[in-house]
Amino acid sequence: MVARSLTLVVAITAACSGGKTPRSTAADTLTERQRDSMLARSRIPGARGVGAALRAADSTNARIRATDSVAP
């Protein structure tokens, strides 16, 4: 009886989902950079490391752009 009830609940939940996958949420409107930036500002353990990685990537990208824009 319990297995039958559980199967029914799962079937109803799947039917009510509208065919949307778990990735089709409002959070998907954010870019990866925006999500990482939000994470870096949080109090989650390791969040400071995400912020440091973002700053390092920004610095590297800025150096690459500066090098590419220099005329020989």
Q: How far is CA 26 from CA 13, 21, 23, 30, 39, in A?
A: 20, 12, 9, 8, 17
| Amino acid sitting at position 40 | A
Q: Per 3-state DSSP, what percentage of the chain is helix, strand, and coil (rounded to 5)? A: 70, 0, 30
User: CB-based contacts of 48: which residues, under 8 Å, 6+ apart?
Assistant: 40
Q: Give pTM, 2 decimals.
A: 0.54
State CA 5 to chain mean position distance: 35
Reported residue count of the chain is 72
pLDDT digits (tens, 9 = 90+) for 34-45: 999 999 999 999
pLDDT given at position 28: 74
pLDDT category of residue 47 using cuts at 50, 70 and 90: very high
